[in-house]
Amino acid sequence: MLDIKLIRTNPDMVKQAMKNRNKDFDAVIDRVVEIDAERRDITAQMESLKAEQNAASKEIPRIKKEGGDIQAIMARMKEVSEKVKELDAKLSVLEQEQKDILLTIPNIPHESVPIGKDDSDNVEIRRYLEPTKFDFQPKAHWEIGAELGILDPETAAKVTGARFHFYKGAGARLERAIINFFLDTHTKHGYTEV
Using one digit for the tens of pLDDT, what is the confidence trace for 89-106? 999 999 999 999 999 999
Burial of 87 (0-12, 13-18, 19+ CB in 10 A): middle
- pLDDT given for residue 194 in this prediction: 46
Query: C-alpha angle with apex 82: 80 to 88, nearest 5 degrees?
Result: 100
- Whether the CB-CB separation of 28 and 105 falls below 8 Å is answered with yes
- The amino acid sitting at 49 is L
Per-residue pLDDT tens digits for 1-10 = 899 999 999 9
- The amino acid sitting at 173 is R
C-alpha 64/C-alpha 46 separation (Å) is: 27
CB atoms within 10 A of CB 98: 20
Per-residue pLDDT tens digits for 45-72 = 999 999 999 998 888 888 888 888 888 8
Burial of 133 (0-12, 13-18, 19+ CB in 10 A): exposed
Per-residue pLDDT tens digits for 107-164 = 999 888 888 888 888 888 888 999 899 999 999 888 899 899 999 888 888 888 777 8
